[in-house]
Amino acid sequence: MAFWYNEIFNQQSRFGLKSTAKLFEGNSEFQKIEVLDTIAFGRVLAIDEIFMTSEKDEHFYHEMLVHPALTTAPRIDRVLVIGGGDGGTVREVLSYPEVQQVTMVEIDPLVVEVSQRFLPTIGTAWEDPRLQVLYQNGVDYVRDAAVEPFDIVLLDGSDPVGPSTGLFTEAFYRGCHRLLAKDGVFALQSESPILQRSTFLEIGQTLSGIFSEVHPYFGPVPIYASGSWSWTYTTHSVDHLEFDEQRMSRTEQRCKYYNRDIHRAAFTLPNDLKPIFKNGKVTIEDK
């Protein structure tokens, strides 16, 4: 018997998916993990009753998190991914032959185990020898790891509740900055610019105290609150609109959503954000 599975957001809105089966439900030491079979989006991963990813819309989120940074950074040899336990982000990163090493730091082994079992079309790069998966809290890793700098740091976490709360703090962003090469790019998911506007703005404001340039960008993720999502690209020196032509032309041929026109359009600011994000600087008077 089909049933509705709802994500209730801040007790203010809800998004429901008609589901035909619950394929998995379990609790790790950190969170509740579920996999549903849904009519509209195929298999869906939910954590603490928040939609994380689905077979049919995951490409919007993963392509947009990864490719703006990887098509523009001067070097992409070493990449750090914090979170991303479903495997979609590292799959996109490892599509670049230039990438030599990817370190993925995921707090919850059960997310990876469940994703490998139930979402094999999302995590298709688990066996890539360039990938190292560490099960550790990302906050501790970026504070303590004694490693060579990374060319790219990507944050693929959940909303700022439960184990992800620490991923929205200045201390965490400073840790990412510590591990990033001087001419590197840090890109992160930065919540809905509509329903989580104050979180989205706070992320930009905090990053602007650490990095020289902060550029939010936007796109659809149909199963997330409001469907309208943001990511933020932050750097000291990289031009976010200047492509490595070879990387871009290969990437836009293989992606379902991302291409150079989407890239440019995604960084276009709506009128109400123009006074806040000017030339990579952030000025917030009223959230």
When the beta carbons of 101 and 199 are compared against ligand SPD, the nearer one is 199
What element of type H or E holds 21? strand 13-27
Query: Residue 137's closest CA among 106, 174, 160?
Result: 106
Please tell me whether residue 219 binds ligand SPD under the rule CB under 6 A.
no
When the beta carbons of 110 and 181 are compared against ligand SPD, the nearer one is 110
Query: Which amino acid, one-letter code, is at 117?
Result: R
Q: How far is Cα 69 from Cα 242, in angstroms, rounded to an integer?
A: 11
Please tell me whether residue 53 binds ligand SPD under the rule CB under 6 A.
yes
DSSP 85: T
Smallest gap from residue 89 Cβ to ligand SPD (A): 6
Smallest gap from residue 83 Cβ to ligand SPD (A): 7
Please tell me whether residue 156 binds ligand SPD under the rule CB under 6 A.
yes
Size of the site for ligand SPD (CB under 6 A): 14
Asked whether the beta carbons of 190 and 207 are under 8 A apart, the reply is no
Q: Strand 228-235 to strand 213-220: parallel, antiparallel, or no bridges (unpaired)?
A: antiparallel
Q: How far is Cα 66 from Cα 161, in angstroms, rounded to an integer?
A: 23
CA angle 152, 158, 162 (to 5 degrees): 125
Using CA of residue 186, residue 191, residue 197, residue 202, what is the dihedral sign? negative
When the beta carbons of 17 and 225 are compared against ligand SPD, the nearer one is 225
Q: How far is Cα 254 from Cα 233, in angstroms, rounded to an integer?
A: 22
Q: Which 167-196 positions form the footprint of ligand SPD (CB under 6 A)?
A: 189
Please tell me whether residue 158 binds ligand SPD under the rule CB under 6 A.
yes
Asked whether the beta carbons of 47 and 111 are under 8 A apart, the reply is yes
Please tell me whether residue 115 binds ligand SPD under the rule CB under 6 A.
no
Please tell me whether residue 63 binds ligand SPD under the rule CB under 6 A.
no
Confirm whether 140 is a catalytic residue.
no
When the beta carbons of 86 and 244 are compared against ligand SPD, the nearer one is 86
Please tell me whether residue 141 binds ligand SPD under the rule CB under 6 A.
no
> Which range touches ligand SPD (CB under 6 A), out of 18-26, 86-94, 104-112, 146-154?
86-94
Smallest gap from residue 278 Cβ to ligand SPD (A): 27
When the beta carbons of 81 and 282 are compared against ligand SPD, the nearer one is 81
Smallest gap from residue 277 Cβ to ligand SPD (A): 21
Report the residue from 31, 70, 88, 234 that binds ligand SPD according to the rule CB under 6 A. Answer: 88
Please tell me whether residue 50 binds ligand SPD under the rule CB under 6 A.
yes
Asked whether the beta carbons of 280 and 213 are under 8 A apart, the reply is yes
CB neighbour list of residue 104: distance below 8 Å, 6 or more residues apart: 81, 82, 84, 89, 90, 131, 132, 133, 134
Task: List contacts with ligand SPD (CB under 6 A).
Answer: 50, 52-53, 61, 84, 86, 88-89, 156, 158-159, 189, 224-225
Which residues have a catalytic role annotated? 156
